[in-house]
C-alpha cells in the first residue's frame, strides 16, 4: 500500500505532462531554410496547440504528407490574393508584407482558384525563393494546422 501511495504523485506528473504536450504546448524543430531569416534550420520552437484563431502573418506548423511544415499565413478564408511587382494585394487592397519584395508575381488563378476556400489558409515561407508553400501545394486546410508559434526555446526568445 505504501508503494502505491509513493507512485501516485509520479503517475499524476506523467499524466499532466502527456496532456500538456498533447493538447497545450509542444516543442517543434525547424527543418530547412524556407523560413530564413526569421527562423533557422534546427531552431527549437514552442508550438501553441490550443491556439486555433489564425490571423494573417501568424507562423503555423501543419501536417503535409508525412512531414510537419512551418510557414507564415498570408491569406485567410474567403480572400483573393495576388503579388504584383513586389506588393501583396488582398481583395485588391495593398497589404504591407515585409517579405513581398522577394516574391515573384503570383495570383490565386495560377492555382485555378479565385478565392481561398472556407476552412483553408494560404501559407508561404519567409525565404520566398526557397519555399515549397501554397504557391505549389495550394491552400492548406485548417484541420491540418497543429498550432501557432511565437516563441523560440533555442535560441531563446520571441519569434517575429
Q: What is the pLDDT of residue 102?
A: 87
34 is known as an active-site residue: yes
Exposure string over 97-107, b if 16+ CB within 10 A, otherwise e? bebbeebeebe
150 is known as an active-site residue: no
Q: How far apart are the first and last CA of the chain?
A: 52
What are the φ/ψ torsions at residue 16 (nearest 5 degrees)?
-60, -45
Answer yes or no: is pLDDT of 160 > 80.
Answer: no
Domain extents in the chain: 2-74+117-151
Q: Answer with the residue of higher pLDDT: 89 or 6.
A: 89
- Show the beta-strand stretches assigned E in the chain: 25-29, 44-48, 59-64, 67-75, 81-84, 87-90, 93-95, 106-107, 120-124, 140-141, 145-154, 156-158
Q: What is the pLDDT of residue 96?
A: 96
Q: What is the pLDDT of residue 82?
A: 97
Q: What is the pLDDT of residues 29-62, one digit of tens each?
A: 999 999 999 999 999 999 999 989 999 999 999 9
Pick the catalytic residue from 48, 71, 131, 134: 71
In the numeric block, the cell 494573417 is attached to: 56
Q: Which CATH superfamily is domain 2-74+117-151 in?
A: Umud Fragment, subunit A (2.10.109.10)
Pick the catalytic residue from 34, 48, 131, 134: 34
Mean pLDDT over 71-100 rounds to 96
Q: What is the pLDDT of residues 111-154, one digit of tens each?
A: 999 999 999 999 999 999 999 999 999 999 999 999 999 999 99
Query: Taking all residues of the chain, what is their mean pLDDT, rounded to a whole number?
Result: 94
Highest mean pLDDT among 24-28, 73-77, 98-102: 73-77
Amino acid at each position: 500500500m505504501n508503494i502505491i501511495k509513493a507512485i501516485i504523485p509520479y503517475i499524476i506528473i506523467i499524466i499532466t505532462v502527456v496532456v500538456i504536450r498533447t493538447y497545450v504546448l509542444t516543442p517543434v524543430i525547424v527543418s530547412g531554410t524556407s523560413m530564413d531569416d526569421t527562423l533557422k534550420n534546427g531552431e527549437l520552437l514552442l508550438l501553441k496547440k490550443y491556439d486555433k484563431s489564425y490571423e494573417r502573418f501568424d507562423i503555423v506548423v501543419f501536417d503535409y504528407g508525412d512531414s510537419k511544415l512551418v510557414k507564415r499565413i498570408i491569406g485567410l478564408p474567403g480572400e483573393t490574393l495576388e503579388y504584383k511587382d513586389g506588393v501583396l494585394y488582398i481583395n485588391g487592397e495593398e497589404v504591407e508584407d515585409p517579405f513581398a519584395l522577394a516574391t515573384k508575381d503570383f495570383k490565386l488563378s495560377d492555382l485555378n482558384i479565385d478565392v481561398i476556400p472556407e476552412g483553408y489558409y494560404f501559407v508561404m515561407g519567409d525565404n520566398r525563393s526557397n519555399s515549397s508553400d501554397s504557391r505549389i501545394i495550394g491552400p492548406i486546410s485548417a484541420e491540418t494546422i497543429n498550432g501557432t508559434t511565437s516563441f523560440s526555446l533555442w535560441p531563446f526568445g520571441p519569434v517575429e
